Structure 1
Amino acid sequence: MTHRTHTHDTPRDAVDAADAADARRQSFGRLPERIRPEDTVETKPATRPDPARDTYHADEWLIRYCG
């Protein structure tokens, strides 16, 4: 099998390349709009801890596993 090296464009190849370049520009010719870093972060107001829900018992594992 021989490998042919393409050294010049024929008029048909030039037209195909121009069409392909135009199609690429229409799809990818522009960068997407810039997203500001402020728009990528969501902030929520902090709430006070709820003692009924957020209690920590250091010996809870004893009650669960040894009781």
Structure 2
Amino acid sequence: MDREPTRDGAAATRQARYGKLPERIRVADMAEEVEAAPRGGVNAYDPEGSWRYYACLALDLGL
């Protein structure tokens, strides 16, 4: 009663290819540390020029 069922060639190929899970990937391998942009770079906050990005429906309508 401990006999394995016989498999055809296609089933054996599928078992060899998909029969086990892939290797685990460590979290440390999935994360990458990148240095932040220095202060005063391209994306620096400009309080005097911030009005250009202000959006308000009342201002747009002239109210």
TM-score (norm 1): 0.47
Larger radius of gyration: 1
TM-score (norm 2): 0.49
